[in-house]
Structure formats: C-alpha cells, structure tokens
C-alpha cells in the first residue's frame, strides 16, 4: 500500500517558496532569483539500467498444498457478496493439528472491531462515513477428511490473541472433531455472506465501483518448524489492525463471480472461461496458481486497455488496465509507468505470471487506491494529472514493486511489515530515479554534495522529508505495536527504504543488487523473515554490514550525526582547533567527516567506534568548513541541517536557509502537492 505520511510544513509562505523553487527548476525563473548563495544546482544524467538478473524463477512446477475454489454472487443493491469456498488443504505440518484458523477480514468494518478502535474509522487520510460499516458472516462450515463429512459450524469461535477485544471478529478458530494428521488432505466448505462497506480502507464500494479485497474467509498462514525462526509449527495468528496488512500461504485459485450484466470485471490471474450470461446476470471465471490472495474489482465504467511488456530476461506480461471512462486520456501514462516498473524490477529476477491487472478507481473511491494484491494493483489517477508531477506514476510503480516483495517473496506483513513496504519503497525509488531522471537535483556546498534530492522523483530526499524527530519506534516491530499510524508509515516505508539506500551507498550498488536478487530468487514463494534477509547481507557484503543493518532495524530512535562545537585551543607553540562530531541519535554507522581548509582542500576521516562523540584536532590553519557524511551515504540521517559547519557565519546562514527551503519543497512533494 502507499503511505500518506503527514509532513509538518505548511503555510502560504512555504507554498510560495515551493512554487518558486519548482518553477526555477523547470526553467521558468532564473535560479539567481533565490537565496541559494554558495550552491550549485545541477541536473544529473540518467542512471544506466542494471543488467537483468540472469537466473529465471518461473512458477514452481509442483502444485500448492492449498486450493481455493470459490463461487460467489455480488448484489449491487446491498453491496453484499454471498459465496461458497471449497478449500482443499494437504496439511504440511509434522504434528497432528486439532484446529483451523480463519481470517474474516470484513469484520474489521464492524463498529467495535479492533481495527475501528485503533483507527477511529480513519485510514490513511480517508474517513468512514456514518453507516459505512461492513461485515462477514460464516453461515456454514463442513470439514471432510478421514472419509467423513462433519458440520463444524458450531465449532467456530472468534479469537483475539493480540488485544483480547471480545468484540473483534476478524480471526476465528475452528476446532476439528479429530486431529488432522501430517500429509492428510482436508476438504473444507465454507458458506459466507460479506457486506462490503463504502470504500475508505482498501475494500468496498463507491456507487457502481466495487473493490473486493479480503472478501472471502481465508485460511490463516501455517508456518512450519524453523520457518521465520519458529520453535513450534502452527498458524500465524493475528487479528486485523489499523496498522497492518496481510499474510497468507500460496494457493491455487479458481473463482467464479456472478453479477449483473454490464459490469466489467478485473481480477487476480487470468480469465479462464468465457463469461456465461443468464437472465440479466453474467458469471465470469478467473484463476491463478501460486498466489496468496485473490482480489477482484468491477465497474460498468471500466474501459480495458492492454499492453504486452517483455522485461529483460523475462517472459511476456500482459498489463491489463481497467481504466475509468473519464480517465481514458491517462491510459498510456498509466501503462507506461507499470511497464517501467516491470522493466526495473527485472533487475531482481523475472516476474513469473502472465498478467498484471491494474485497477483505476474512480475519483470518489480514493480509499481503494494505492493497494497491492497478487497480480492486481490499484492506482490513484486524477482526471487531469499534472504532467510535471510524479503522480500517479509513483503509486503505480510502488504497487507494481509490491508484486515482488509482497506478492512473490510474501513476507509476514503483520510482524515484519518493513520487509515488504521497505523493499517496495526502496525499489520504487530506484525505478523512479531512472524513469524520471530529468528532475533530479544535487545541491553542493564547497563542491561537496550536501543534498542529493530529487524534487519530483521520490527518492532518498523525498523519503526523508516525511521523517520527524519524534519517531521512537524501531523499524522492525509488530505492525499494531507502533506508537501511531504516522510512526508505522514513517518507519516501515520511509526509514526502511532509507536504511536500504544507506546500506547500498556503504557497500555499493552491485552488492546491493546481488543481495536483492538472491533474496528474490532464493525466497520466492517461501515466506522469509528478517533474519533470512540479514543472512544474505552477510553472505554478499560481510558480517559487519549485516550487523549494522540489523542495528538500524531493531534500535528505537534515529540516526543523527552532527558537527558539534569547533573551538580554537591554545597550545604552547602553535594554535590548534578541535572539531567535535556528535552522534545525537541512538543508531550508529560508520561516518565520514570532511574538514575543509583555506585552500579548499578537504581532509577526510572515517569515524566508526560507536561512541557518542569524537574530537578531531587541527593545527596551524583554522578550518573553513566541516561536513559530516559529505558523500551523503547515510540517507537514514534524520537531520542533515546539523551536518555542516562553516567559519563564515553568513554562509552558514545561507546554507541553513537553503536547506530549509529544500526541506519545505520535499515536504510539500511528500504530501502530493
Ligand atoms: Zn506499499
């Protein structure tokens, strides 16, 4: 999903500044109009495409142990879905199992759910209206194994392992009459009735538009011994929270949806049979192997645009854009962005599915936008997107990147959201750098790049713009334990992406690509955890790099290096100066310090002992300027305003002013200005 972190820079004055700077960047005003003093602004050349990862990883030849066959009917008048799931599960555990666990996600939209209590009916800037609730009722469950079919409907009980909220019905256990044995096949039939809310949080309706996400009862993810460090096999049991997304095992899906004629339906996977029409209704059928969820969307106003993309080293992918009728003039732009994403993602490995479906929600359903499902993403395109803006391209690229980390690697979004959102946000930045390179801007101070911040492409500068010094949470944390929605978004998206950028700049792009492509090829379809990722860092870039990254993930607090006091000290013979560099945040990193003398020459030092401060002594000549992290490797550094010192205080004021202006611009961009 796309985060919408709030950025605390808003005033008429700042907006005016933002407009001025932006206009200067695009050449409508001379740069000299602005107080940029010592700075050079330069447009950087596009970054060359990385070589595609050579090893192919198509869908596994074996079938999944889990199989969903779903038949359902959608009733537009009541926004209800009545359906039946026939589920076959070859039990993968090593010990007998005496219960099942089901996610009943639409119950998050019931008034007293944990999701409602935590979110107060607000989700990422969108608010539920009066009566915009939804729910799911399981009306009948039949379990068939050992040659016997048993009605287990009454054995369903709601469970609340995370917060003991008795009113939360998003997770249920079903006790089995007899234990299921390892390797045994269970057939489960679940009849259900879902009522979709008016959409404000991913799933729901808006007029004729339907976005059906997490709309059927889903078996909870079963984890084997040793998987993600588990000491005992079992289901991964979590309710649905305001700050969490999803986790499920891979399955084969065969889904039939009946709804009135006139609707156009886009869904996970491919259409596997022609629509069957009968008495004003149509039944469409979609299927896909090796996906861990199935979503569909319908709207009579959809216009279908397709484009076949063959990413380097991969197989052809049909991108299917279900475009709103009044957005058709944006269809090429939307398809271009998704094609660029697929081509960029090929650096990590091949996309193994034949389709990628893009749903374009109408303007009155923004809560459905910016979301990922297997082989299906939702965008967020306005009627008249600004040609110079990175939206809606950024959202589409972000959601397409999810296909790799959420869709194929499929990490646990309840407990380790950073693994998906962080890698996705990082990949989004890498792709945007290449897709919209023309607006990338570097700001230099004494010839040393202080900020390397794109105003329009969403890369490290933009990710950093949303950071606040108030964030105390570690990046890796159970999603519902973050202090706030803001802290969750800033940590698992922005700080995680900045940590990955920092790692890349310390170890080099080549090693970083090797880490990500190995992670992708080794762990696709296997649900890895953070430690599996860290092991690959150690393998490709050494133990110290893995330990450093682990510390960034697990330490509450910020990374913040700063220039402390610079003083002249009296020594018996020659004058000397001491320069103190401070580590003001809890996080540590190897940091470079450049001390610039009168002749403009820089002496560079590396400080890496993890202490709170370090003093450097300079004799004979006074320093003209001091810059911490002059190569801007540590993009995770929360405050770059304190990374420099200049002898000439006027120039320091100019620097501070210009950096403030730059951060205002970033802030405005981050809220989609
Ligand atoms: Zn996302």
Q: Is 613 labeled as catalytic in the residue annotation?
A: no
Residue 82 has pLDDT above 80, yes or no: yes
Asked if omega into 41 is within 30° of 0 (cis), the reply is no
Q: Is 399 labeled as catalytic in the residue annotation?
A: yes
Query: How many CB atoms are located within 10 Å of the residue 316 CB?
Result: 9
Q: Last residue of a domain, which of 254, 276, 293?
A: 293
Question: What is the pLDDT, as a whole number, of residue 58?
Answer: 77
Cα 7 to ligand 1 centroid, rounded to whole Å? 18
Place of tokens 């059927």: 216
* Residue 169, domain member (yes or no): yes
As given in the structure block, the two tokens for residue 31 are: 């740069």
In this structure, the answer to whether residues 215 and 311 fall within a common structural domain is: no
Any idea which of 30-39, 256-265, 493-502, 558-567 has the lowest mean pLDDT?
30-39
Residue 287 has pLDDT above 80, yes or no: yes
- Catalytic site residue from 135, 223, 372, 399: 399
| d(C-alpha 69, C-alpha 84), whole Å | 8
Its ipTM equals: 0.92
Question: What is the pLDDT, as a whole number, of residue 54?
Answer: 33
3-state secondary structure of 109: helix
Q: What is the mean pLDDT of residues 114-121?
A: 89
In this structure, the answer to whether residues 614 and 656 fall within a common structural domain is: yes
Half-sphere exposure of 623 (CA within 13 A, CB side): 28
Got the DSSP string for 511-544?
Answer: HHHHHHHHHHHHHTTS---HHHHHHHHHHHH-HH
In this structure, the answer to whether residues 271 and 366 fall within a common structural domain is: no
In this structure, the answer to whether residues 310 and 285 fall within a common structural domain is: no
The answer to whether 1 and 245 have CB atoms below 8 angstroms apart is yes
In this structure, the answer to whether residues 254 and 109 fall within a common structural domain is: yes
* Residue 374, domain member (yes or no): yes
- Catalytic site residue from 493, 519, 561, 644: 493
Any idea which of 86-95, 226-235, 379-388, 643-652 has the lowest mean pLDDT?
643-652
Cα 87 to ligand 1 centroid, rounded to whole Å? 29
Pairing of strands 296-299, 270-278: unpaired
Cα 206 to ligand 1 centroid, rounded to whole Å? 22
Cα 492 to ligand 1 centroid, rounded to whole Å? 9
* Residue 320, domain member (yes or no): yes
Collect all residues with Cβ–Cβ distance below 8 Å to 597 and sequence separation of at least 6.
603, 621, 623, 624
Residue 100 has pLDDT above 50, yes or no: yes
Give the annotated binding-site residues. 398, 402, 421
The answer to whether 520 and 526 have CB atoms below 8 angstroms apart is no
In this structure, the answer to whether residues 509 and 392 fall within a common structural domain is: no
| d(C-alpha 74, C-alpha 155), whole Å | 28
Report DSSP state, residue 311. -
The answer to whether 378 and 297 have CB atoms below 8 angstroms apart is yes
CATH assignment at residue 581: 2.60.40
Enclosing domain of residue 88? 64-293
Cα 278 to ligand 1 centroid, rounded to whole Å? 39
CATH assignment at residue 384: 1.10.390.10
Distance of CA 237 to the CA centre of its chain: 22
CATH assignment at residue 199: 2.60.40.1730
* Residue 410, domain member (yes or no): no
The answer to whether 367 and 330 have CB atoms below 8 angstroms apart is no
Residue 125 has pLDDT above 90, yes or no: no
Place of tokens 């950093």: 464
* Residue 237, domain member (yes or no): yes
In this structure, the answer to whether residues 385 and 470 fall within a common structural domain is: no
* Residue 325, domain member (yes or no): yes
In this structure, the answer to whether residues 192 and 147 fall within a common structural domain is: yes
Give the annotated binding-site residues for Zn(2+). 398, 402, 421
Question: What is the pLDDT, as a whole number, of residue 204?
Answer: 95
In this structure, the answer to whether residues 443 and 535 fall within a common structural domain is: yes
* Residue 414, domain member (yes or no): no
3-state secondary structure of 359: strand
Question: What is the pLDDT, as a whole number, of residue 270?
Answer: 97
In this structure, the answer to whether residues 580 and 534 fall within a common structural domain is: no
3-state secondary structure of 576: strand
* Residue 44, domain member (yes or no): no
In this structure, the answer to whether residues 566 and 526 fall within a common structural domain is: no
**Could you give the number of structural domains in the chain?**
4
23 compared with 582, residue with greater pLDDT: 582
What pLDDT band is residue 175 in, cutting at 50, 70 and 90? very high
Q: What is the mean pLDDT of residues 539-547?
A: 98
Each residue of 423-477: pLDDT tens digit? 999 999 899 888 877 644 444 455 555 555 554 334 566 666 666 655 679 999 9
Each residue of 561-618: pLDDT tens digit? 999 999 988 777 778 899 999 999 999 999 999 999 888 888 999 999 889 999 998 8
Cα 424 to ligand 1 centroid, rounded to whole Å? 6
In this structure, the answer to whether residues 322 and 261 fall within a common structural domain is: no
Q: What is the mean pLDDT of residues 119-126?
A: 79
What pLDDT band is residue 655 in, cutting at 50, 70 and 90? low
3-state secondary structure of 349: coil
Provide the sign of the torsion angle of the four alpha carbons 403, 404, 405, 410, taken in this order.
Answer: positive
| d(C-alpha 81, C-alpha 195), whole Å | 6
Cα 202 to ligand 1 centroid, rounded to whole Å? 12
């Amino acid at each position: 999903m796309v985060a919408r972190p709030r950025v605390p820079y808003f005033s008429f004055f700042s907006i005016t500044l933002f407009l001025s700077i932006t206009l200067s960047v695009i050449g409508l005003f001379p740069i000299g109009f602005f107080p940029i003093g010592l700075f050079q602004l330069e447009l950087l050349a596009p970054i060359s495409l990385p070589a595609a990862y050579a090893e192919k990883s198509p869908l596994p030849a074996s079938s999944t142990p889990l199989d969903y066959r779903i038949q359902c009917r959608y009733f537009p008048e009541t926004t209800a879905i009545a359906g039946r799931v026939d589920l076959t599960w070859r039990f993968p555990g090593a010990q007998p199992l005496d219960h099942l666990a089901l996610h009943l996600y639409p119950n998050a939209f019931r008034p007293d759910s944990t999701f409602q209590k935590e979110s107060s009916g607000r989700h990422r800037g969108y608010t539920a209206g009066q009566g915009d609730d939804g729910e799911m009722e399981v009306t009948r469950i039949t379990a068939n194994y050992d040659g016997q079919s048993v009605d287990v409907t009454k054995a369903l009980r709601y469970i609340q392992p995370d917060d003991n909220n008795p009113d939360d019905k998003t997770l249920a256990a079903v006790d089995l009459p007899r234990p299921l044995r390892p390797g045994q096949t269970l057939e489960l039939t679940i009849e259900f009735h879902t009522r979709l809310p008016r959409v404000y949080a991913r799933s729901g309706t808006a007029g004729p538009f339907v976005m059906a996400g997490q709309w059927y009862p889903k078996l909870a993810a079963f984890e084997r011994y040793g998987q993600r460090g588990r000491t005992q096999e079992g289901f991964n049991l979590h309710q649905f929270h305001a700050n969490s997304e999803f986790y499920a095992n891979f399955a084969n899906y065969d889904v039939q949806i009946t709804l009135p004629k006139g609707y156009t339906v886009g869904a996970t996977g491919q259409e596997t049979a022609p629509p069957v029409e009968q008495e004003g209704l149509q039944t469409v059928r979609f299927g896909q192997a090796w996906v861990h969820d199935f979503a569909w969307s319908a709207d009579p106003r959809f216009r279908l645009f397709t484009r076949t993309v063959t990413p380097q080293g991969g197989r052809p992918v049909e991108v299917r854009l279900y475009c709103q009728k009044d957005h058709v003039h944006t269809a090429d732009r939307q398809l271009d962005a998704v094609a660029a994403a697929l081509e960029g993602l090929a650096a990590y490995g091949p996309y193994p599915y034949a389709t990628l479906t893009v749903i374009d929600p109408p303007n009155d359903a923004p809560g459905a936008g910016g979301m990922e499902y297997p082989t299906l993403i939702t965008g967020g395109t306005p009627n008249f997107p600004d040609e110079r803006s990175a939206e809606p391209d950024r959202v589409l690229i972000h959601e397409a990147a999810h296909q790799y980390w959420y869709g194929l690697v499929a990490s646990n979004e309840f407990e380790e959201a950073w693994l998906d959102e962080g890698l996705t946000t990082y990949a989004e930045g890498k792709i945007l750098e290449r897709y919209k390179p023309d607006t990338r801007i570097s700001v230099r101070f004494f010839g040393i790049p202080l900020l390397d911040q794109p105003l329009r492409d969403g890369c490290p500068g933009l990710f950093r713009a949303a950071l606040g010094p108030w964030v105390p949470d570690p990046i890796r944390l159970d999603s519902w334990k973050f202090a706030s929605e803001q802290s969750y978004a800033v940590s698992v998206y922005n700080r995680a992406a900045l940590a990955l950028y920092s790692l890349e700049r310390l170890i080099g792009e080549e090693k970083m690509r090797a880490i990500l492509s190995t992670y992708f090829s080794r762990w696709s379809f296997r649900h890895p955890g953070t430690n599996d990722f860290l092991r690959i860092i150690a393998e490709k870039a050494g133990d110290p790099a893995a330990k450093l990254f682990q510390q960034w993930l697990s330490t509450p607090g910020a990374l913040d290096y700063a220039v402390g006091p610079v003083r002249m000290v009296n020594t018996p013979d020659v004058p000397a100066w001491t320069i103190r560099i401070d580590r003001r945040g809890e996080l540590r990193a190897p940091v470079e310090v450049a001390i610039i003398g009168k002749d403009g020459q820089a002496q560079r030092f590396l400080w890496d002992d993890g202490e709170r401060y370090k003093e450097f002594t300079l004799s004979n000549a006074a320093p003209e300027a001091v810059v911490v992290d002059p190569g801007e490797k540590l993009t995770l550094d929360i405050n770059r305003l304190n990374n420099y010192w200049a002898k000439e205080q006027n120039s320091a004021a100019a620097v501070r002013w210009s950096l403030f202006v730059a951060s205002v611009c970033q802030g405005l961009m981050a809220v989609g200005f």
